[in-house]
Structure 1
């Protein structure tokens, strides 16, 4: 009887998950249809007490993403992440989820505005969700990323950057665009391996010991030049080190960090 109850509970939970996905799929189709319909119309507007004219041009296409933000899910499994993104009440989503075994699941069309970045900025872009594709990696933030997962990420990034002409410096982590608020995809994420595949930026390690910094080298300007928001300088430094010097993460720049900053400026 005990095992029968347990089996019944598992069946019910499975049914609930399937129902959540069906509801999410139905709502997705409904909302994209509504969005498409709204794009077909240009409503006349009133500006300064004058009604605007409407003449439809045939020369257009959809706007395209120019930024990719990498996250870790901080959840128990891909299944849990799928459910989180399928439920309306969570108000979060991402374009892709990559599991530990390398499985890639797309949850939003690339051209839709996902809800994955929250408040943040990169360079002059202050509305990250409107300009980016979000990629979630199934990882709790305290474990290494698997080879299969990173391999799939590399293939996906190659496809997306080629398709949308996204520059290397615009492949970033959640921590990069939200210093002090986010730390994903964690200090264990292999940014250098990604850069070795031509994705993202990294510094010239061979010149690290020999590079001589200019006397007037401005580290705050260098952080801004790369893309970091330096309103809270200590948080910007922490996020920078989390990515480029993860073995010495702190809120202060060392001489090594300054050299890394200088070398990175030459890569952009």
Structure 2
């Protein structure tokens, strides 16, 4: 019996140590196994034998080019997790049945969990479109921020996010305009990151574009800038001559009456197959208030100012 006591304590010590180790050790092993399988696929080369099995007219021998590298991401798509905790999200992303994942997850305390190599394709975007790109998963990195969908993002999260984006941008050469949100690429399905997300701050750091507020302030709608000439109307009712107001001898930029909202949204990148959803997604990103309200004059001016940056 006495001999069993040391064994008992030894087993207890192992149990305690195992409890303090990485709780995702099992799924990490599965991750490595899957990565190894993909590595084997990448190392498979054409051979005369397997080419002969094809109906294609292959050459007499295989020639492997020396000029190639790994495909790299060209977009970053930012999400909120819409879950109760970062632990819940990490568990969700390690269960095969969920079929969802992300490259990075940022906890409320600013901790960053790098879940997938940047060159792998995560399942974070789903069905979506940005410009002519209909498979954002294949060309983007997904970053999930621990947030239930309604709360504010913590300062530590945003600091870590900006530091992460700096590293990603430098590593992969991603253009500023290609840092976007999930709601941007899937306006009919998604509303993340939520209305509290600091898009303006990110744009100031070089991640995403923002409008020139002074320019927007100076913009005028054509209806605001022009008025009928009463003299011309008195002389000939069919004459539609118009004169302009002069404000401090400075001519503001005028938004033409035929400015096309749908085309402007397309130029930025939004999928306008559901125009109402595209407008709402635009407001979620750039206006961040009155999302359920129709476009007003201010929204129109912001859109006009922004679309020129994407031309």
1:40 aligns with 2:46: no
2: distance between equivalents of 1:165 and 1:81? 29
1:237 aligns with 2:279: yes
Q: Report what 1:222 is aligned to.
A: 264
Aligned to 1:182, which of 169, 190, 201?
A: 190
State the superposition RMSD in angstroms.
Answer: 2.0
Query: Per-residue CA shift, 1:13-51, capped at 9, x if unaligned?
Result: x96x966x2232112111111111111223455899334
Q: Is the contact between residue 208 and residue 260 of structure 1 (CA under 8 Å) also seen in structure 2?
A: yes
1: distance between equivalents of 2:63 and 2:30? 32
What is the SS of the residue equivalent to 1:200? coil
Query: Per-residue CA shift, 1:92-135, capped at 9, x if unaligned?
Result: 11000011111111000000000111000111110010000000
Q: Report what 1:165 is aligned to.
A: 173
1: distance between equivalents of 2:194 and 2:121? 24
Q: How many residues align?
A: 254
Q: Quick one: structure 1 residues 23 and 52, their matched pair in 2 at CA, closer, same or farther if it must change by over 3 Å? A: farther
Q: Is the contact between residue 235 and residue 251 of structure 1 (CA under 8 Å) also seen in structure 2?
A: no
Aligned to 2:157, which of 149, 153, 169?
A: 149
Q: Is the contact between residue 97 and residue 104 of structure 1 (CA under 8 Å) also seen in structure 2?
A: yes
Q: Is the contact between residue 234 and residue 251 of structure 1 (CA under 8 Å) also seen in structure 2?
A: no
1:260 aligns with 2:302: yes
Note the residue ranges of structure 1 that are not aligned, 5 or more in a row.
Answer: 1-10
After TM superposition, what 4+ stretches of structure 1 lie above 6 angstroms from structure 2?
none
Q: Report what 2:79 is aligned to.
A: 71
The 5-angstrom pairing of residues 198-217 of structure 1 reads 198-211=206-219, 212-217=254-259
Q: Report what 1:49 is aligned to.
A: 55
1: distance between equivalents of 2:87 and 2:54? 52
What is the SS of the residue equivalent to 1:92? coil
Query: Per-residue CA shift, 1:119-165, capped at 9, x if unaligned?
Result: 00111110010000000000011111111110110111111111111
TM-score, reference length from structure 1:
0.89
